Chain A
Amino acid sequence: NAGVTQTPKFRVLKTGQSMTLLCAQDMNHEYMYWYRQDPGMGLRLIHYSVGEGTTAKGEVPDGYNVSRLKKQNFLLGLESAAPSQTSVYFCASSYSGRSYEQYFGPGTRLTVT
């Protein structure tokens, strides 16, 4: 049981490049989330999904897109990376009965130059 896994762990992009971050969970959780963590600002919700095929915007969705084609996977895409998207990205999941008890992945550190 690996829990929540994220790939890649580190990535450096040039401004304007695109990339996709992959999150996978093996706990059969219905809900999945993408957060970003910046120094002194805690975690902020980017997008979330309450089930396969559904997505919704969180607090800071601009510049990001997501897809949830399979229940166990949640993808975060950056179409045209900007330096302001330099951050640590965390994926989390929870089951619907206890949706606030979220399990986090190890994070992806992204630097945009």
Chain B
Amino acid sequence: GQQLNQSPQSMFIQEGEDVSMNCTSSSIFNTWLWYKQDPGEGPVLLIALYKAGELTSNGRLTAQFGITRKDSFLNISASIPSDVGIYFCAGQPGGTSYGKLTFGQGTILTVHP
């Protein structure tokens, strides 16, 4: 099936630093989404992107739908301790429907106070 490569796998940063992570695919995706998962809980949707080149913000989070439609980026500015968790990218491959998503392996974010 479709594969999403998410990087980095983990990040250790100091509070106040900015964070960048990305997701790439070998094939085109029509929709990109970013989720965050806190320990012991289910993923929560952060940002959804529907158009190539789209740049969308949600508070300190900004995500972009790559122009090639094969990648997406998530930036977190001025990180705080509650940003700790696993961040997943997810996408809808071209030709699929009914909300079927492919997920990346996740980026584990640790923020040191």
Contact = CB atoms under 8 A, between A and B. Distances in A.
Contacts of A4: 42
B45 to A, nearest CB: 6
B42 A105 contact: yes
Contact of B45 (A33, A50, A102, A105): A102
Nearest to A93: B99
B103 A100 contact: no
Interface string B28-40: 0001010100001
Interface stretch (A39-47, A61-69, A74-82): A39-47
Nearest to B3: A42
A41 B105 contact: yes
A46 B99 CA distance: 13
A103 B45 contact: yes
The size class of the interface chain A forms with chain B is: 20 to 34
B94 to A, nearest CB: 13
B98 A50 contact: yes
Contacts of B6: 42
B99 A100 contact: yes
B103 A106 contact: no
A31 B98 contact: yes
A41 B90 CA distance: 12
A100 B44 CA distance: 13
A29 to B, nearest CB: 10
B104 interface: yes
A56 B4 CA distance: 23
A3 to B, nearest CB: 9
A91 to B, nearest CB: 8
Contacts of A103: 45
A113 interface: no
A26 interface: no
A90 interface: yes
13 contacts: A40-B106, A43-B103, A58-B100, A99-B98, A99-B99, A100-B90, A100-B92, A100-B101, A102-B101, A104-B35, A104-B43, A104-B44, A106-B40
